[in-house]
Amino acid sequence: MSKPVNETAMHKNIRQAIIRIEKGRPKIVDSDRKMSVMAVAEEAGVSRALIVRDYHLLYERILGGKGKARQQQIDEKQQQLNKSRDRSKELRGELEELKAMNAYLQSKNATLIMENKRLLAQAVNPSNVVPLK
């Protein structure tokens, strides 16, 4: 692996700590310890936050593909969220349509009930009923 031209001493120190842990020959942490940001930070003598905040490429190397899998999970969840939002939008539109249809049918039903009452009254007492027009 070729060394970047503008590699700082801190970057080099963190990179070497990663290599030592990968090869199982760390100087500070136990050799049976798994690769983690905390292990690399202890081995390099820096804070975990410094690696995460300032050395993104080294952080991704420490994760060793976990970052890609994590990003893939995030993308899948985002797709599910977008599908759910689209479905929710469709269902809200359908709900509004059904509410309008319900209001129309309630109006028609009320009209038919009044007409039914008028016809029943006319059938019971035909002489007392005067149709209104």
* pLDDT 10s digits, 52-73: 999 888 888 888 756 666 778 8
Q: Which of left, alpha, beta for 46 (phi over 0: left; psi -120 to 50: alpha)? A: beta
- pTM for this entry: 0.46
Whole-number mean pLDDT of the chain?
86
Mention every residue, 6+ apart, whose C-beta is less than 8 A from residue 122. Answer: 129, 131
Residue 111 has pLDDT above 90, yes or no: yes
Asked if residue 4 has pLDDT above 70, the reply is no
- Answer for the pair 50, 40: CB distance below 8 angstroms, yes or no: no
Beta carbons of 46 and 59 less than 8 angstroms apart? no
Question: Is 32's pLDDT higher than 80?
Answer: yes
More confident residue, 59 or 105: 105
For the chain, the structural domain boundaries read: 9-64
pLDDT of 83 reads 97
